[in-house]
Amino acid sequence: MSFQYKNVYLLWLSLLVIAFDQITKQLVVRHLDWYDVVPVMPYLNLVHMKNTGAAFSMLSDAPPAFFVLLGTAVSVGILWWLRRNPRGQTLLAAALSLIMGGAMGNVVDRVTRGHVVDFIDFYVGNWHFAAFNVADMAISVGTGLLILDMLLDWWRTRRAEKAETS
């Protein structure tokens, strides 16, 4: 019998994401003026950007309250899932905890600033990817882990079905 952690124990990931996200954003706000660019290495700059929308500035005309409610609703849903499914789905719980931490990191920005601070700028030549932040990275990694969990679940189910028919 293997020991399985309670899924809610992975909420420390959410708190870590929120803390790291807010610390890095505060450093950017304190040390960079709007639209300042600090080259870090080839293809990577630190910038100070304001994002009033969602990913890639979609819905930038929506009020901050919309995104606060959306991020809060997502977080409540994740907490409900973690509580309802108490053990054994570690990868899925970690993925959801990362997504929740990212969502709440950006919610903190919208509540305190009315917008999200973005500061990581990847570029190649004159092409720049949309600026992003630590919260956005956590949401992206969490989403990738969700997809991985679904693929692994599909693979395990398929393997079990093949074993039954053999």
Q: Which residues carry out catalysis? A: 118, 136
Distance between CA atoms of 53 and 50, rounded to whole angstroms? 9
User: Do residues 111 and 95 touch, judged by C-beta distance below 8 A?
Assistant: no
The two structure tokens encoding residue 27:
């450093």
- What distance, in Å, lies between the first and last C-alpha atoms of the chain? 27
* Closest C-alpha among 69, 63, 90 to residue 8: 90
Residues 27, 66: Cα–Cα separation, whole Å: 26
Q: Please count the other Cβ atoms lying within 10 Å of the Cβ belonging to residue 91.
A: 14
